[in-house]
Amino acid sequence: MIRNIKQSELIEMVAEKENMNKSDVRKVFKATENIVYDYLSSISYNDKCKISLLKGLSLESKYVLNKCSGIFKGTEYSKIKINSYISRRYKNLINR
């Protein structure tokens, strides 16, 4: 069974747990999303960006230069590769 928690549900849980207004929590989530997007999308060639979202949970992006094959052989294009990482300590806490 896959448990899927939507952002709206997470916002509700945080608001309830911290006794905050849902709209305030939503603003914080939106601001965080915008900041993460800006950092991950602004890297340039040979750059890396690592963002620690939570203790033990981070995102890392790097600029990757790829070469096309087939009709477009020899053409280069770039993309940003994003990976998520969970620390061993965080995994151990989850798997208790």
Q: Are residues 14 and 53 in the same domain?
A: no
Q: How far apart are CA 16 and CA 10, in angstroms?
A: 10
Q: Are residues 38 and 49 in the same domain?
A: no
Q: Are residues 20 and 55 in the same domain?
A: no
CA angle 75, 79, 82 (to 5 degrees): 155
Q: Are residues 90 and 55 in the same domain?
A: yes
pLDDT digits (tens, 9 = 90+) for 48-61: 888 888 888 888 88
pLDDT digits (tens, 9 = 90+) for 2-53: 888 999 999 999 999 999 999 999 999 999 999 988 887 777 777 788 888 8
